[in-house]
Amino acid sequence: MKVEVSSETHSKSNNSRRKFLKMGGLAVVGSSLLLYGCSDDDDISGPVTPTPGEPFDLGSGDVGILNYAYALEQLEAEFYTQVIAGSYFASADPEEKLILQDLYDHEVIHREFFKAAITGAVGGDMSKVLPELEFDFSGVDFGSRDAVLGTAQVLEDTGVSAYNGAGARIELPLYLTIAGKIVSVEARHAAAIRSIYLPGNTEFAGDDVIDANGLDPATPPADVLAAVVATGFLTTPFTANNLPAPMVG
């Protein structure tokens, strides 16, 4: 998913967009992708203990979905860490800098939220918590506005779709509530990036992501993974062989 796509800012719009992001707040989770293979027909519940020497498997049931979300948050947190350290950010328009700083802050908090949530869910057994992943963003030019905002747009749009697809697989009501909060935060992120990057006044909810019924897509984990593995961003191998099927009824 290497992206190479190629204002006058009034204080009112600046404050408005910043408030728009802050409404999503530092509250609960947002974001996007990465794994290696996924089965929708395994109904095992609970985490899967990794075999020594084998890649970590995300597990099954709600814990598997939490690990899935944690992987996505790790990816986005690391991406925005690189953005903040890059030369484009250093000289960016003040409004864009404020938005990117907020996204960085949110994603780091979301990443730590998931680590703590999973650790609690498995009773502190860290062998069942996805380890810290390593990433390679050398294909993204962090000195280029087009590369940074274009990649951010893809990650944020994918995050909304990924969480929509994951929600139908969650069993515990508490986690489903959290997933709803995740989607709302991710949608705010996606709209903010689109509003500063794409031309036109309606691209924050463009026809390329919102269908004729006014709905965002809901993409199954297997499809998200198939689309993301090719990015080359992830360098730590892991599997997703036991993620649950959508809940029925």
pLDDT tier at 232 (50, 70, 90 boundaries)?
A: confident
Residue 214: CB atoms within 10 Å: 7
**What domain count does the chain have?**
1
Q: What is the pLDDT of residues 147-162, one digit of tens each?
A: 999 999 999 998 889 8
pTM: 0.79
Asked if the structure places residue 4 within a domain, the reply is: no
Asked, for residue 156, whether it belongs to a domain, the answer is yes
Q: Is residue 9 part of a domain?
A: no
pLDDT tens by residue, 10-66: 344 444 444 444 433 333 333 322 333 333 333 334 545 556 678 999 999 999 999
Decide if 51 is inside a domain.
Answer: yes
The answer to whether position 45 is within a domain reads: yes
Q: What is the DSSP string of 194-243?
A: HHHHSSSSSGGG-TTTS-TTS------HHHHHHHHGGG--B-S-EEB--P
CATH number at residue 101: 1.20.1260.10
Q: Pick from 31, 131, 143: which is nearest to 83 by CA?
A: 143
The boundaries of the domain holding residue 170 are 31-239
In this structure, is residue 18 part of a structural domain? no
Q: Is residue 25 part of a domain?
A: no
Does residue 247 sit within a domain?
no
